[in-house]
Amino acid sequence: MSTVPLRSDIQASDTWDLSPLYTDDAAWEADFAALQSEFPEITNFRDRLGSSPEILSVCLEFERTVDIRIERLNQYAALKVTEDSSEAKSLDREARLEGVMVRVGEAVSFLAPEIQAIPDESFEVFLSSPALADWTIPLKKLRRLKPHILSAPEERLLALGSSVVHGHSETFSQLTNVDMKFGKLKDGAGNERELTQSSFSSFLQQRDPAVRKAAFHQFYAEFSDHKFTLAAGLANAVRGGVFYARARNYPSAREAALFADNVPVSVYDGLISTVRSNLNPLFEYFDLRRQMLGLDEIHHYDTYVPMVDDVQSDVPWDSAVDKVLSAVAPLGDEYTTVLAHGLRGGRWCDRYENKGKRSGAFSYGTFTSPPYIMMNYKPDVFSDVYTLAHEAGHSMHTWYSQRSQLFQNYHYPIFLAEVASTFNEILLTDHLLATTDDRRMKAYILNRQIDDLRGTLYRQTMFAEFERDTHAAEEAGEALTLDSFQRIYRNLLNAYFGDKFALDPELDLECLRIPHFYSAFYVYKYATGISAAAALARQVTDSGDASRYLDFLRSGGSRFPIETLASAGVDMSQPAPVQAALDLFARRVAELREILS
């Protein structure tokens, strides 16, 4: 019987090395104490920011030192909780930091209102001062928010309430990653394994349809037992977003979310309309999948198993690293050398699942630390090689931005982050297709890219519609209940899967288990990201020149994302990149059909 190991059973070489952040918990506690004694000094600048550029500069530099310290403290605390979400010491550390961060937010809440209160003419003089030369970009971005910055007392109240309003996300994480138990299940080889948030994907890739079906129903039975609690949490997440949008005088929660990146609503709506007009290739793919798997009808739990079996499906960690490094070779020696060190001796990555560990994968970098990667790598799930390439893209984006931008400009927006990650996945597919003559392997890889495009472009756009519709319902005064969530989601399932797809009733509950829904208007960036990435990857492979792409990685958050991508050669204000990605999907489906025939 296979069981999930304890954290203490994992070899140190397979875990991340957090010593570049803090050598031990005691070092974190010392820095935490320093933060508590340091941050109140920022109130000494209250009512003085408009007096001179020099005073404003000193204040901003002080805030920067506080922010860098908070960033490191928060990263360490978050990564320790990720290791084991049931570890009381880690949870206590994170909770204490969160409490102090609320107090920091309260202390600095006067900054934005005071800066916004500087008269326009004086503000232009400030921007031309050498004292603020390093702060021109963030100050211009802040000034753009002027219509949505409140008075100092109002900003203080919003800061005080932030952790309360956003608490639903932590509740969701604890419930689904720690409290919910999914039992055990026999895999296709007859081995009993624990069903978890992480192993669920492995079960869905089993060749035996009975195993996939059993895993699906057993998994969602647990969600059904908690569906009213989860629906209440999701409703509060939506209400929290609407509350902040209204408090800051935005027309809607969606526009509030897009405003910071200066992304027009037309980009969001254009994505949905373009994808909606290209659903037929998706339906054709589902039917091809049904035929190749020998199914009378296709269910959602049949959409993840590879259509081609008898190919390599056991990829150890070191082999996965080799594949990724070979794929990104067009980006040059510096890129590959740094990444190779990080994934091996540098111990950037926490590789394998353990009890209590957060499900999924992510990359988390700060200005002064390595860009850490969290995975639950499984050698028998080939898509995990793609996940590694994906997270490596994020990490190298952080690495280049750290070294090219000031702290205040290095944070790249999520809109751009998903470009760097999916770019690597596209290079990986091109590399794998070019290095095999085996027709079945080619079919397997084509199937992988098709599923990647399906999951990232089609599926995330469906999710984006769900977020748009649920927030619009709340803004229109409609009730957000379990029934209304399921109704909205069922309509989307019908649209995106077609009338030849067998939709199990339990699938309506999927809307309650998507973590991003508890922090809305993120998922559309996956879809726009893969569209931009496909265009950039084509540029690099066609020209053999990665310089524009590497400049894109170095740009960090120094410009708004649409402008940054335009400089790299991709115009996301138009539907062309999305359409090109959809055309790639249709072309790959045709290629796969030809090979399989």
Rg of the chain (C-alpha set):
24
The CA-to-CA distance between both ends of the chain, in Å, stands at 39
Q: Contacts from 202-211 at CB under 8 Å and sequence distance 24+?
A: 202/378, 202/380, 202/381, 204/301, 204/304, 204/305, 205/304, 205/305, 205/306, 205/380, 205/381, 205/383, 206/305, 207/305, 207/309, 209/293, 209/295, 209/302, 211/185, 211/186, 211/187
Q: Decide if 391 is catalytic.
A: yes
DSSP letter for 49, please: T
Q: Which of these, 562, 516, 211, 488, lies nearest to 360 by C-alpha position?
A: 516
CB 179 within 8 A of CB 229: no
Catalytic, out of 391, 418, 425, 474:
391
Q: Supply the DSSP symbol for 206.
A: -
Stated as kind and residue range, the H or E segment containing 236 is helix 227-247
State the residue for tokens 């994505």.
Answer: 271
Asked if residue 460 lies in contact with residue 514, where contact means CB atoms within 8 angstroms, the answer is no
Buried b (16+ CB within 10 A) or exposed e, 284-320: ebbebbbebbeeeebbbbbbbbbbbeebeeebebeeb
Q: What is the dihedral of CA 579, 585, 587, 592, to 10 degrees?
A: 180
Residues whose CB falls within 8 Å of the CB of residue 261, separated by 6 or more in sequence, listed in order: 413, 415, 560, 561, 562
Distance CA 501, CA 497 (A): 6
By the 8 A CB rule, do 523 and 467 touch?
Answer: yes
Q: Which stretches of 175-208 are DSSP H helices?
A: 200-203
How much of the chain is in helix, strand and coil states, percent to nearest 5?
A: 70, 5, 30
CA dihedral defined by 233, 234, 236, 239, rounded to 10 degrees?
Answer: 180
- Residue 302 and residue 381: Cα distance in Å, rounded? 15
Separation between Cα atoms, residue 293 and residue 502, nearest integer Å: 15
Residues 418, 422, 425: CA angle, nearest 5 degrees: 160
Closest CA to 289 of 497, 462, 489, 459: 497
Pairing state between β 184-186 and 349-350? unpaired
Q: How far apart are CA 22 and CA 472, in angstroms?
A: 44
Strands 372-374, 349-350: pairing is parallel
Smallest CA-to-CA distance from 449 within 308, 297, 270 is with: 308
Q: For residues 333-349, b (16+ Cβ closer than 10 Å) or e, as one string?
A: eebbebbbebbeeebbb
User: Among all residues, which ones are annotated catalytic?
Assistant: 391
